[in-house]
Amino acid sequence: MSTGNMNLTLKVWRQKNNNTKGALVDYKLSGISPDMSFLEMFDVLNEDLINKGEEPVVFDHDCREGICGMCSMFINGRPHGPKDLVTTCQLHMRSFKDGDTIVVEPWRAAAFPVVKDLTVDRSAFDRVIAAGGFISVNTGNAQDANSLPIPKMQADAAFEAAACIGCGACVATCKNASAMLFVSAKISQLALLPQGQPERYRRVQSMVAQMDAEGFGNCTNTGACEAECPKGISLENIARMNRDFASAKFLSEETI
């Protein structure tokens, strides 16, 4: 990695835990390379802090390849920063200018309590998935991969919904902290395929009930989630979830 020449002022949210109040703290960084990823820039900051005997900034990260959904920084008022269709780990410092001031905050939602600094607890998503994001599979030998014919468009739409990495950017950016884009993607990826049909109408009821129980807000169709989603999940999924939910509640006899 080349040594760089960018000088930056970071305003980073520091919060000890969910019971204490947090605040933005200013940090000056110099010699940042434009080739660094945003997280590598944070690694440099943390090295500095450790060398100075201060507590490093806690932030979530894992694969740093844009596919795991762990990184979760709200950068200058947008989840995953200024670029479309990238996660924080795939955001590079060349997307900023020398001398910039960058505000970095955690996802903010009642359903995502702050663990520490920039790390939030997103296990609410896990509980939504556990409520119904599964299919039933018979035991025995595995079936041949293409034994069930699926129209190409249908398979593509399911695949696109399945691209959701569950990072929570949709919740973070939504003015209502609604999780409908995430939940609808997880419902759609199964509802679109024949394997997902047996539980289809139970699933939508269970997962929506869990989403509500977790304290996420209510969608007002601003479209911010779709615009900020690093995986480009479509609002069409929310419409499909709404349709399935209505079918389940008003037409299906299956209740949860």
Partner 1 sequence: MSGFGNALSSSIGRKYVMGITGIFLILFLIVHAGINSLIFLDDNGLKFNIGAHFMATNWIIRAGEYVLFLGLLVHIYQALNLTIKNKKARPEGYAAYNGSANSKWYSRSMGLLGTLLLIFLVIHLKDFWVVSRFTGIPTVDANGNEDLYAVMRAKFQDPVRVAAYVLLMISLCYHLLHGFASAFQTMGWNHSKYNGIIKNVGVWYAIIISIVFALMPIAVYTHLIN
Whichever of 165 and 172 has its CB closer to partner 1, that residue is 172
Distances (CA, A) of 239 to 77, 111, 127, 183: 27, 23, 22, 12
Min dist CB 83 to partner 1, Å, is 11
Nearer to partner 1, 64 or 217 (CB): 217
72 sits in which H/E element: none
- Residue 18 in 3-state DSSP? coil
- Nearer residue to partner 1 within complex by CB, 71 or 248: 248
- What count of Cα atoms within 13 Å lies in the side-chain half-sphere of residue 90? 14
Q: Give the C-alpha distances (Å, rounded to integers) separating 105 from 7, 93, 97, 158, 177.
A: 20, 17, 19, 32, 15
Which residues, including other chains, have CB under 8 Å from residue 32's CB and lie 6 or more apart? 4, 5, 6, 7, 8, 41, 44, 93
Q: Are 140 and 147 in contact (CB under 8 A)?
A: no
Please give the Cα distance from 75 to 244 (Å, whole number).
Answer: 35
Q: How far is the CB of 176 from partner 1 (least distance, A)?
A: 4
Please state, in angstroms and as integers, the Cα–Cα distance from residue 113 to each residue in 96, 118, 124, 128, 213, following that order: 29, 11, 10, 16, 15
Residues in touch with partner 1 (CB under 8 A): 11, 13, 24, 74, 76-78, 82, 103, 105, 108-111, 173, 175-178, 180, 208-209, 211-212, 215-224, 227-228, 235-236, 238-246, 249-250, 255-256
Q: Toward partner 1, which CB reaches closer, 70 or 207?
A: 207
Cβ atoms 224, 74 nearer than 8 A: no
Q: Whole-number minimum distance, CB 199 to partner 1, in Å?
A: 18
Shortest Å, Cβ 202 to partner 1: 13
| Vertex 218 angle, CA 60 and 70, to 5° | 10
Cβ distance to partner 1 smaller for residue 144 or 250: 250
Tell me whether residue 34 or residue 217 sits nearer to partner 1 (CB atom). Answer: 217
Q: What's the one-letter identity of residue 254?
A: E
- Residue 4 or 105: the one with the smaller Cβ distance to partner 1 is 105
Least distance (Å) between residue 232 CB and partner 1:
13
Query: Measured from the CB of residue 86, what is the shortest distance to partner 1 in angstroms?
Result: 14
| Nearest distance, CB of residue 243 and partner 1, angstroms | 3
- The first and second tokens of residue 73, run together, are 């920084």
